[in-house]
Structure 1
Amino acid sequence: MNFCNAISEDFQKASNAALALPMANYLKNNFTFFGIKTEQRRTIFKTNYEKYKLEVKSNFREIAWELFQKQEREFHHCAIDLLQKAFKNNYRLEDIQFIEKLITTHSLWDTVDTLAKYQLGGYLKQFPQETDAVIARFSSASNLWLNRSAILFQLSYKEKTDFDLLKSECEKHKHSKEFFIQKAIGWALRDYSRFNPAGVKAFVLSAQLKPLSTREALRLL
């Protein structure tokens, strides 16, 4: 695709080996980097989006997936930037399979958390009738990133958060030894504590969560 080729060429030109190494180290060397900072990466994306807007709008799912399969981490974030723009209130019912594929590909918190909050969260806002089935499946999966996504997907819901569902997810995973699950429980509860501090405090004090989850959940209280 012309857009993907142009992005690749511009990323190559903007690569900075001095920045690439610390970026890779920050993510525990799970990925390689061009060494492009977020602001510059987004400028490259916006320039090429305007240039190839017709192609991108017509094929944004295919383009995002092509980018997501590439090696360097900047491509994955570029794909998410594209989906942030293209997916708003523009989901198809079958897109949940695509979202799941993205969450479970090249998975780490820096992509998964955005996908969970905006793509999964946005999808379930558009199709609320799918919430129970999707979250039950993600929550019961053997993949910790799907589990984490099931806990975090309501981060953008604010006062509309389904607190009973959030509590249920926290209870289900509260014994997990996974750092990213314990952290997600605390983060989701802390975020909702801005809208229901008494409810969150009461739940945390009675739920016997892991110390990390408890500490994170009560940070604002």
Structure 2
Amino acid sequence: MKIFNEEIAILTTIFINNADINVKSKQEKFLVNNFQFYGILTSKRKPLVKSLLNKWNKTLPLAIKKELFRELYLQKNREFQYTAMEFLSLWWKQNLNFNDLDWLLLIIKHNIWWDTTDYFDNIIGVLIFSNSDISIRNQYLFKLINDSNFWMQRIAIQTQLMFKEKTNFDLLFTLITPLLLTPNFYLIRAIGWALRNAKRVNESKVNNFIKINNVSKKIISVINEH
């Protein structure tokens, strides 16, 4: 396995040189002090690392890209995870498939929170539904929805969030039905968003589902937002 000391050192220097203690305090508070930040706004950080990420994307073979993504993502400060995600965005569509799901999920379970799950849910969804075998992809989703880690459940719920007319309503309803009375804030939000987006595609189907199921008032409140 390649050691990425140089790449990590370059990014660390960039982050330290552009850190702002006031931004750091606000960012850490925003994520309930669960994670450490250097203190750099996304709008400032992205231009600072863009050329590096593009260079690594163009020059590194896929196996090394995957290793570099992992090493960046496993670093302590949140800026590294965001940078890793931006690096992944440059090449995952052309290079990852269903068989990469276990690899990717194992990495993103590290320091997982809503800001990372909400980035990866669409990627996970695209990779799962790229498998033409319905039984295999459904089995994978059921594995996620039954995971003891509720962030994995949130990802399962949100895999079709951006699918619009391609949404599999029966599958979505099957996934969320056991969780309709969950007290978990992050799952309530995920279910509400999933049903709200689905309702925009087929209002009658979602309304009928709500009518015949014991959907919590908190979820209904999320559905009716905006």
TM-score, normalised via structure 2 length:
0.90
Identity, in percent, stands at 26
Residue matched to 1:107: 112
How far off its partner does 1:166 sit? Answer: 0.6
User: Does residue 45 of structure 2 align to residue 44 of structure 1?
Assistant: no
Q: Which amino acid aligns with 1:80?
A: M
Aligned length: 219
What residue is the counterpart of 2:190 in the other structure? 184
Partner of residue 165 from structure 1, selected from 157, 164, 171: 171
Aligned to 1:67: 72
Other-structure match for 1:14: 18
Residue type at the aligned position of 1:133: Q
108-117 or 96-105: which moved more?
Answer: 96-105
Gaps of 5+ in 1: none
**How big is the shift at 1:56?**
6.9
Which deviates more, 48-57 or 152-161? Answer: 48-57
Q: Distance in 2 between matches of 1:4 and 1:57?
A: 18
Q: Following the alignment from structure 2 to structure 1, what is the Cα–Cα distance between the partners of residues 61 and 185?
A: 37
Return closer, same or farther for 1:92/1:195 CA change in 2, 3 Å cut-off.
closer
CA pair 195-93 structure 1, distance change in 2 beyond 3 A: closer
How far does the alpha carbon of each residue in 1:87-135 deviate from its partner, in whole angstroms, 9 at most, with x for none? 0142144311122213321011001111112x20121232242421110
C-alpha separation between the residues in 2 aligned to 1:10 and 1:143? 34
The residue matched to 1:70 in structure 2 has which SS? coil
1:49-107 superposed Cα distances (whole Å, 9 cap, x missing partner): 23333127552211111011111111111111111221014214431112221332101
The CA deviation at 1:3 is 3.6
What displacement does 1:211 show?
Answer: 1.4
Deviation of 1:139 after TM superposition, in Å, equals 0.8
The 3 A distance-change label for structure 1 pair 196 and 76 is same
Partner SS, residue 219 of structure 1: coil
The aligned amino acid for 1:62 is: E
Could you tell me which amino acid in structure 2 is paired with residue 19 of structure 1?
V
CA contact 1:121–1:156 (8 Å) conserved in 2:
no
